[in-house]
Amino acid sequence: MTPVPPHVRLLVLVFVLSGVSAFKICSYNVEKLSGHKAKNFRIMHTLTRVLSHYDLCLLLDVDSSAVRTLLAKLNRNADRYDDQFRYDTVTATSLDTNHMHHYVYFYRTKTVNVKARHQYQKVQSFTREPLAVQIHSRNTAIRDFILVPLHSEPSKAVQEMDRLYDVFQEVSRKWNNTNVMFLGDFHAGCTYMTRADKKKIRLFRNTSFSWLIGDKVDTTVTDDTTCPYDRIVVHGERFLKNIKPLSGQVVNIGKRFRVRRTLVQEISNHYPLEVILKSSALLLQATPLLALLSVVIAL
């Protein structure tokens, strides 16, 4: 049997893995994205470029008019690509009125199946009650997981971060799934959350939760602050193992998308966050890869 040269094996591996695509999630506080703000072409063009980079993106502080405009722009060329990049939304209320939505999920319909949603409604728990969603995707190794957003009230940031544990208990029981990711603008830093405050927050005290955005990270655009307000937190070792290592990060959209700093600041004083889930394609294609290699070896 003729040995297979290393370069042939590498070419086969590259060929097989060329179809593997990462599953990307983002969270972005766009700071009062109103209908008036949505009339700014440069802002909407930039947001469209950013969102189209992700399978699923949570936006904070958006009104219905802006959601409709942004969704239309995202889907403008969807037909041309056989619906590969068609998006839909999940909100707590209808888009028929100009209601300001605290949480809006934009998701790619080809890769994301929103199985259920749940509006947390405990009295006096949150200023902006989290809208949890249960997600299924054949493109991720984890397949089923839950997203829980938070846009905290700055003066109540510590209490609201702690109450996320209550939300975790409720949604994990409701959907029988402990693969839960928390994301959003927690105001988790600077004067709103001190080192001593962390001892009061169950998501910090409980080691089952992993904070992917560290305390020394700056999620703000302005040079006047260096604060890790925006965070991504995941529960459980299984979920953590299905996240691409070190992929939880701040996205400097000025550098990545070559946008002027003044425009970045017009959109928001927050940068978006992103995290990448491991692809199911690696698992699905492992057997074909071995089979293909065996054929090559046989030759």
Q: Is the dihedral of CA 130, 131, 134, 135 positive or negative?
A: negative
**8 Å CB contact between 185 and 152:** yes
pLDDT band at 15 (very low <50, low <70, confident <90, very high): very low
Helix H segments across the chain? 6-17, 41-51, 64-74, 157-175, 202-205, 237-241, 253-256, 261-267, 281-284, 286-298
Query: What is the C-alpha separation between 56 and 215, in angstroms, rounded?
Result: 25
The bridge status of strand 144-151 relative to strand 209-211 is unpaired
Give percent of the chain with pLDDT exceeding 70: 86
pLDDT band at 280 (very low <50, low <70, confident <90, very high): confident
pLDDT value at 288 more than 60: no
- pLDDT tens per residue, range 221-274: 999 999 999 999 999 999 999 999 999 999 999 999 999 999 999 999 999 999
Q: Is 270 left (phi over 0), alpha (psi -120 to 50) or beta?
A: beta
pLDDT of 4: 52
pLDDT of 292: 40
pLDDT band at 81 (very low <50, low <70, confident <90, very high): low
- pLDDT tens per residue, range 114-134: 999 999 988 778 999 999 999
In the structure encoding, which two tokens stand for residue 68, read together? 């409709």
Which of 6-10, 83-87, 98-102, 139-143 reaches the highest mean pLDDT?
A: 139-143
pLDDT value at 213 more than 90: yes
- pLDDT tens per residue, range 147-191: 999 999 999 999 999 999 999 999 999 999 999 999 999 999 999
pLDDT value at 7 more than 80: no
pLDDT of 281: 72
pLDDT of 157: 97
pLDDT of 211: 98
First to last CA, the chain: 8
Amino acid (one-letter) located at 93? T
pLDDT of 82: 65
30-34, 94-98, 206-210: which has the minimum mean pLDDT? Answer: 94-98
Determine the average pLDDT of the residues in 278-283.
75
Q: What angle do CA 87, 171, 187 make, to 5 degrees?
A: 75
pLDDT of 263: 97
Map out the domains of the chain as residue ranges.
Answer: 21-278
CATH architecture of 21-278: 4-Layer Sandwich (3.60)
